[in-house]
Amino acid sequence: MADNTFDIIIIGGGPGGYVAAIRAAQLGFKTAVVEREHLGGICSNWGCIPTKALLRSAEIFTYFGHAKDYGLMAEKFGFDIAAIIKRSRGIAGQMNSGVQFLFKKNKITTIWGDAKITKPGEIAVTAPTKGVLGPPVEGPKGALGAGTYKAAHIIVATGARPRVLPGLEPDKKQVWTYFEAMNPDKFPKSLLVVGSGAIGVEFASFYRALGAEVTIVELLPQILPVEDAEIAAFARKQFEKQGIKIITGAKVTKLDKKADSVTATIDVGGKAEMITAEKVISAVGVVGNIENIGLEAAGVKTDKGIVVTDGYGRTNVKGIYAIGDVAGPPMLAHKAEHEGVTTVEMIKGLKVHALDKAKVPGCTYCNPQIASVGLTETKAKEQGRQVKIGRFPFIGNGKAIALGEPEGLCKTIFDAKTGELLGAHLAGAEVTELIQGFVVAMNCETTEEELMHTIFPHPTLSETMKESVLDAYGRVLNM
């Protein structure tokens, strides 16, 4: 095979792309990844990981504030935003070189530059023209550069970028996207967060924990719109207790920028309200990177900013596949990774299953953490399901009380007829680590019976999961 010819070329080195590449290499494919600014993608560099690093600093800071509750003394404590950011960026860098190492280990070729599909089976790569922070970033050692490359299979994994709403255009200075919010020059005293999805509430939690005045504006009547209404209401109460101001059913209609503040006009059910803050974070969602990569010319079907695929990553054009954020919601790293593996295995001819979106968990690392999988109560009822619902509050859990984290809720939804676990929704300490138990249960198609037969270790927060299941069947023990 010529040096510029591969079995599989993947455009984009995010969690979708890099994991697909490793799986492809494992299966014996000659594999290349084209990346233009950061191996590891948004997730490692500007998403999941660096935000979790920031939130960890905020969490420990919050503990300091409650030291007395634990019999500890921490009378003088503070934070250095520059150091917090430095830690976060350092961790992002560590992730990035981790991917480089994995590529080397698996003999995956990196091609550095902007890729564009010229026709099915062929791409053109040009040197990158810019990076997130301005100037283009240099590629890792040994990466190939600009040129034409061929592969029978081209996987598009170009990810997503912040959605821009008219009137709310980010300007890097006062109106931020997650890029600036993750990397501020100085700590803002007040902040207006537009949008209450995962990204919005995570930044709200982070900045509030460190003392900023934070207001969240959400268009829909519920914050965390994809979550179960009961969990979202629970989270809202906790946020408000922490001093976050939340306005739902509201729309930002205008931004007036002054030298060191922005005044937003907000339409709340027909009434105008003004909110002034030092910075605005626009967190109104993301859109797929479908432009300028040759999709139109190749005839690849797209719809509302994402590439249309068939559940196995196949597009309508033979030999062109799409995975991850660019292939549509849920726009989460683990969904991207899973699609990457499925698509490559399908190309290999292995037995694979189409993505089941109902079994993709979602985690939000605000305080309290939110984690869920499957149908919300509303959705389950909309589908005409007869349901049995269990709830268990953390206050009934010994470990939660010992941790000093008695605020939490575990809610489970079962099909009343078959005992199928339809959904699980959690809020509280460490629930992002708990949810996988329910995800495994769902994938193994357990019913309530096996969950009740399972012994959950004591004392752990996971006992709330079992109690919630018991509650759904009227057998709760510790309430």
Partner 1 sequence: MPINILMPALSPTMEQGNLVKWLKKEGDKVKAGDVIAEIETDKATMEVEAVDEGTLGKILVAEGTNDVAVNKPIAVLFEEGEDASAVSAAPAEQPKTAAAPEAKKEEPKKEEPKVEAAKAEPAKPAPVAAPVPAPKANGAGVKVFASPLARRIAKERGVNLSAIAGSGPHGRIVKKDVESARPGAGAPAAAGGGAFGLPLMPDDQIRALFEPGSYDVVPHDGMRRTIATRMQQSMIVVPHFFLAVDFEVDALLKLREEMNSYAPKEDGKPVWRVSVNDLIVKAFALTLKKHPNANASWTEGGMLRHHNVDIGIAVAIPGGGLITPILRNAQDKPLPELAQESSNLAKRARDKKLKPHEYQGGTAAISNLGMYGVKHFTAIVNPPHSTILAVAASEKRPVVVGDKIEIRTMMTATLSCDHRVVDGADAANIMQTLKGFVEKPVGLVM
Ligand X SMILES: Cc1cc2nc3c(=O)[nH]c(=O)nc-3n(C[C@H](O)[C@H](O)[C@H](O)COP(=O)(O)OP(=O)(O)OC[C@H]3O[C@@H](n4cnc5c(N)ncnc54)[C@H](O)[C@@H]3O)c2cc1C
Task: Rule CB under 8 A: say whether 162 interacts with partner 1.
Answer: no
Residue 425 is among the residues annotated as catalytic for this protein: no
In whole angstroms, the minimum distance from the beta carbon of 34 to ligand X comes to 5
CA distance linking residue 298 with residue 308, whole number of Å: 14
Instruction: Return phi, psi of residue 71, to 5°.
Output: 80, 20
The verdict on 324 binding ligand X (CB under 6 A) reads: yes
Of residues 66, 153, 334, 458, which has the active-site annotation?
Answer: 458
- 153 or 411: whose CB is closer to partner 1? 153
Among 169, 449, 458, 477, interactor with partner 1 by CB under 8 A: 449
Which two tokens mark 356?
């089941």
How many residues interact with ligand X (rule CB under 6 A)?
A: 37
Nearest to 380 by CA among 339, 433, 342, 421: 421
For residues 25 and 349, the answer to whether their CB atoms sit within 8 Å is no
Kindly tell me which residue out of 25, 232, 244, 336 binds ligand X, with binding defined by CB under 6 A: 336
Two structure tokens written together for 389: 């619902």
**52 binding partner 1? (CB under 8 A):** no
Burial of 28 (0-12, 13-18, 19+ CB in 10 A): exposed
User: Which is closer to ligand X, CB of 137 or CB of 229?
Assistant: 137
Binder of residue 168, out of partner 1, ligand X, none (CB less than 5 to 8 A by kind): none
Contact flag: residue 331 with ligand X (CB under 6 A): yes
Binding partner selected for residue 314 from ligand X, partner 1, none, CB under the kind-specific 5 to 8 Å limit: partner 1
Q: Does 372 sit near ligand X (CB under 6 A)?
A: no
* Distance between CA atoms of residues 302 and 327, nearest Å: 9
Sign of torsion over alpha carbons 184, 189, 190, 196: positive
Q: Site mask, partner 1, residues 7-26, x = CB under 8 A? A: x------------------x
If you ran DSSP here, which 8-state letter would residue 70 be given? G
CA distance 160 to 16: 12
3-state secondary structure of 283: coil
CA distance 148 to 150: 7
What are the tokens at 36?
């233009």
Please tell me the distance from the alpha carbon of residue 400 to that of residue 393, in angstroms, as a whole number. Answer: 10
Separation CA 66–CA 4 (nearest Å): 59
CB of 301 to ligand X, least distance (A): 18
Binding residues among 117-136 for partner 1 as defined by CB under 8 A = none
DSSP letter (8 states) at residue 143: -
Task: State both tokens at 66.
Answer: 């409650």
CA dihedral 80, 86, 92, 93 (to 10 degrees): -170
Query: Could you tell which of ligand X, partner 1, none binds residue 38, using a CB distance below 5 to 8 A set by kind?
Result: ligand X
Q: Is the dihedral of CA 127, 131, 135, 138 positive or negative?
A: negative
Binding mask 319-338 for partner 1 (x = CB under 8 A): x-------------------
User: 120-149: b or e for each residue (b if 16 or more CB lie within 10 Å)?
Assistant: bbbbbbeebeeeeeeeebebbeebbeeeeb
Other residues' Cβ atoms within 10 Å of the Cβ of residue 479: 12
Q: Does 349 bind partner 1 (CB under 8 A)?
A: yes
The entry of partner 1, ligand X, none that residue 460 binds, CB within 5 to 8 Å by partner kind = none
Map residues 402-441 to x or -, x wherever contact with partner 1 holds by CB under 8 A.
Answer: ---------------xxxx---------------------
Among 35, 345, 405, 430, binds ligand X (CB under 6 A): 35
Q: Which stretch binds partner 1 (CB under 8 A): 244-252, 286-294, 342-350, 362-370?
A: 342-350
Site string for ligand X, 398-437 (x = CB under 6 A): ----------------------------------------
Pairing verdict, β 213-217 and 245-247: parallel
Give the one entry of ligand X, partner 1, none that residue 228 binds, where binding means its C-beta sits below a cut-off of 5 to 8 angstroms depending on kind: none
Q: How many CA atoms lie within 13 A of 328 on its CB side?
A: 17
Q: Does 318 bind partner 1 (CB under 8 A)?
A: yes
Build a one-symbol-per-residue string for 267-306: x at contacts with ligand X by CB under 6 A, - elsewhere: ----------------------x---x-------------
Q: Is 12 an interacting residue with respect to ligand X (CB under 6 A)?
A: yes
- Which amino acids are annotated catalytic? 458
Binding site for ligand X (CB under 6 A): 11-17, 34-38, 41-43, 46-48, 51, 114-115, 157-160, 178, 199, 289, 293, 324-326, 331-334, 336
Binding site for partner 1 (CB under 8 A): 7, 26-30, 152-153, 312, 314, 318-319, 346-352, 417-420, 444-447, 449-450
